[in-house]
Amino acid sequence: MDGGQYNPRTVEEVFRDFKGRRAGMIKALTTDVEEFYQQCDPEKENLCLYGFPNELWEVNLPAEEVPPELPEPALGINFARDGMQEKDWLSLVAVHSDAWLLAVAFYFGARFGFDKTDRKRLFNMINELPTIFEVVTGTAKKQSKEKSSVSNSSTKSKSSSKGRAPESAKYSKPVQAKDEEEVVDEEDEEEHGDTLCGACGENYAADEFWICCDVCEKWFHGKCVKITPARAEHIKQYKCPSCSNKRARP
């Protein structure tokens, strides 16, 4: 379980460590959910979900040394897999994953002597990101929708789901003076800045290609789900990896 582990010593390094581990665990519970599901065999021993600083994840037995080098994730996540609805089980794993990430981050903070100001700054940086639970359950997407006063018909939404970016793809810019275009770009960033990728949980950016799942209606970076703009043009109905796996599983 090396996963690119290292010992971050500054607030910025601990936050970077947190983001990497978080990204890996989000992948396990979203884009890699089929593989994660298969690895969590209830017939196996107590298993844990680990996230690593290099954005990878792993399902494995807990560390043998006592006490462990780092706080340990929730033990035995595989035992509950077949006794719950899949979405409820994934939500449960997500909640425990959030708790583990905070434990690891503040373990580093204690180990390297962060003072009150450092701890507060670290928490504020972490708190700016949606939790894994919010990403997995779609709560983060709902919250961003509530903040937006823009309402569009379902017809428009479907027709633009293979657009360059959430919502903004529904509108075509008229020819404008340079200053006016800059103002429109700034407004676009403000309007859609709360839209989050269903895979990595990062915010919307105007210069990135996004695609919307026609089943769960979550938005994804094209790079996160391996869809290019050219390929999107030929997709009549896009299903994200999570929705595709749900349909495929007996």
Query: CA-CA distance, 197 to 226, in Å (whole number)?
Result: 13
Query: CA-CA distance, 212 to 122, in Å (whole number)?
Result: 32
Alpha helices in the chain (DSSP H): 11-29, 33-39, 86-111, 116-127, 132-137, 139-147, 154-159, 178-192, 229-232, 241-248
Instruction: Please tell me the predicted confidence (pLDDT) of residue 187.
Output: 53
47-87 pLDDT, tens digit per residue, is 999 999 999 999 999 988 888 889 999 999 999 999 999 99
Torsion of Cα atoms, 93 then 98 then 102 then 108, to 10°: 60
Instruction: Please tell me the predicted confidence (pLDDT) of residue 169.
Output: 42
Instruction: Please tell me the predicted confidence (pLDDT) of residue 56.
Output: 97
Query: CA-CA distance, 92 to 99, in Å (whole number)?
Result: 11
Query: CA-CA distance, 208 to 232, in Å (whole number)?
Result: 14
Instruction: Please tell me the predicted confidence (pLDDT) of residue 87.
Output: 93
Instruction: Please tell me the predicted confidence (pLDDT) of residue 68.
Output: 85
Q: What CA–CA distances, in Å, run from 228 to 100, 125, 232?
A: 34, 31, 6
What residues contact residue 215 under an 8 Å CB cut-off, 6+ apart? 239, 240, 243
pLDDT less than 70: residues of the chain: 1-7, 141-194, 246-250
pTM of the model: 0.59
Query: CA-CA distance, 136 to 123, in Å (whole number)?
Result: 21
Q: In whole angstroms, what separates CA 72 from the centre of its chain?
A: 21
Residue type, 144: S
Instruction: Please tell me the predicted confidence (pLDDT) of residue 147.
Output: 55
